Amino acid sequence: MKELCIEYGYTSLNHYGEELCGDNVEMSVADGWTTVVLADGLGSGVKANILSTLTSKILCTMVAGGADMEDCVETIIQTLPVCKERGVAYSTFSVIHVDNQGRGHLFEFDNPEAIWYHRGHTCDFPREEMNICGKQVFHTPLELESGDMVFVMSDGTIHAGIGQILNFGWQRKEIMEHLDTNIDAHMSARAAACLLASACNDLYLDRPGDDTTVAAIRVRPRMEVHIMVGPPVDKEKDEVYVKRFLDGADKRIVCGGTTSQVVARCMGHQLKTSFDFPDREVPPIGFIDGIDLVTEGVITLRRLLALSEKYVSVKDLTPKTYSKKDGGSLLANIIFEEATHVVFFVGQNVNAAHQGLDIDITMKLKLVERLADNLRRMGKDVTVNYD
């Protein structure tokens, strides 16, 4: 059985006319445990943002550190500033705390009930009521399976469409039906959260009447993807370098014309090039037996970087899966949606084909560094090897 791991992601919509979101999400991965906290501050704007940020950061730090929920709630009550207008310090929250096998806990306070995507369908969790410092907090022990997802959300989701498309908002039943129709167990947590938030935005007619946030976790098998970008400086090390690149990977990607020639030669296979141009701005892909994807180098990596900038933005509502067949889109699907661990093999040999062009080794290294940073922001485990 393959090793399991936890994937997470979220999308937020600001109340129309507000620069700051009154919801906040904090995530932590430490010692084999993943903690996700979604907090919704009272009202909207600056005050709500302060309340939700304090709540989520305190809870995430304490829960990840092993503190009891009673202590966490007591700390929140004593810490939050009191609103002068309403005379209360109020922030709802949902907390997911699970190990890499999907075992752990869900705690909820006044947010819409979490939704469990299990074996291809949405369903409800059993919930145990707890009274903590006079607050009604619900607890659910978690025993998740591979392919399971857990969605937590602020009440902007169930308010979507009130007074506009719908009379009484989007009820939880309709949300579950929408998820059943539109997601599957192979969709990433980030893509699934974005899909639900985007539907809420449509119901709000692009003018959200409340801060709206959807966060999700997904239990999934580990997928290690190796990417080779450029051959090594010492040509005598080509075969050793290629062997390291091939070993231990679930999927293998080669970026660059010269690099693909080196890999094909060392593997004893033929390099074939496609003449299809699904996107005129991205060079065509190639094919090597035993390699999952072969692309051009710098231009395709630039497209991948641009796609990664949109992918990591929690405000961007464009779909996080890619149907186009150009090298950049194919690469993005593997790296963003399928991979959990990404290992770059960056050869620093100067490409003679780039002489006289606005392309050099420094540019390639910077592209890889920025890509690695964005992948880490997606929650990927990233390693960069330089040769």
274 vs 88 pLDDT, higher one: 274
Percent of the chain with pLDDT over 70: 93
- According to CATH, the topology of domain 4-221 is Phosphatase 2c; domain 1 (3.60.40)
Dihedrals phi, psi of 202, to nearest 5 degrees: -65, -40
pLDDT in the model for residue 184: 84
Task: Say yes or no to pLDDT of 42 above 90.
Answer: no
pLDDT in the model for residue 360: 59
Q: How confident is the model at residue 255 (pLDDT cuts 50, 70, 90)?
A: very high
Q: How confident is the model at residue 58 (pLDDT cuts 50, 70, 90)?
A: very high
Mean pLDDT of the 251-274 span: 95
Mean pLDDT of the 345-362 span: 66
pLDDT in the model for residue 90: 83
Q: How confident is the model at residue 387 (pLDDT cuts 50, 70, 90)?
A: confident
354 vs 281 pLDDT, higher one: 281
pLDDT in the model for residue 169: 63
Pick the CATH number of 224-386 from 1.10.3470, 3.40.50, 2.60.40, 3.30.420: 3.40.50
pLDDT in the model for residue 142: 97
pLDDT in tens, 300-348: 999 999 999 999 999 999 999 898 999 999 999 999 999 999 999 998 8
Ranges in the chain annotated CATH 3.40.50: 224-386
Question: C-alpha 170: how far from its chain's center?
Answer: 25
Mean pLDDT of the 67-92 span: 81
Ranges in the chain annotated CATH 3.60.40.10: 4-221
pLDDT in the model for residue 88: 64
For residue 168, what are its two tokens? 């009484």
Mean pLDDT of the 224-248 span: 93
Q: Looking at residue 236, what DSSP letter applies?
A: G
Task: Say yes or no to pLDDT of 6 above 70.
Answer: yes
Which residue, among 381, 383, 384, has the nearest Cα to 5 in the 3D structure? 381
pLDDT in tens, 99-154: 999 999 999 999 999 999 999 999 999 999 999 888 899 999 999 999 999 999 99
Q: What is the DSSP string of 87-108?
A: S---EEEEEEEEETTSEEEEEE
Q: Are 221 and 100 in contact (CB under 8 A)?
A: no
pLDDT in the model for residue 107: 96
Task: Say yes or no to pLDDT of 384 above 90.
Answer: yes
Q: How confident is the model at residue 162 (pLDDT cuts 50, 70, 90)?
A: confident
Q: Are 111 and 56 in contact (CB under 8 A)?
A: no
pLDDT in the model for residue 232: 87
Of 62-76, 319-333, 349-363, which gets the smallest average pLDDT? Answer: 349-363
Q: What is the DSSP string of 252-288?
A: EEEESHHHHHHHHHHHT---EE----SSTTSPPPEE-
pLDDT in the model for residue 139: 96
Share the mean pLDDT of the chain: 91
pLDDT in the model for residue 275: 87
91 vs 227 pLDDT, higher one: 227
Q: How far is CA 223 from CA 96, 104, 248, 334, in A?
A: 23, 22, 10, 10
SS (H, E, C) 301-363: HHHHHHHHHHHHCCCCCCCCCCCCCCHHHHHHHHHHHHCCEEEEEECCCCCHHHCCCCCCHHH
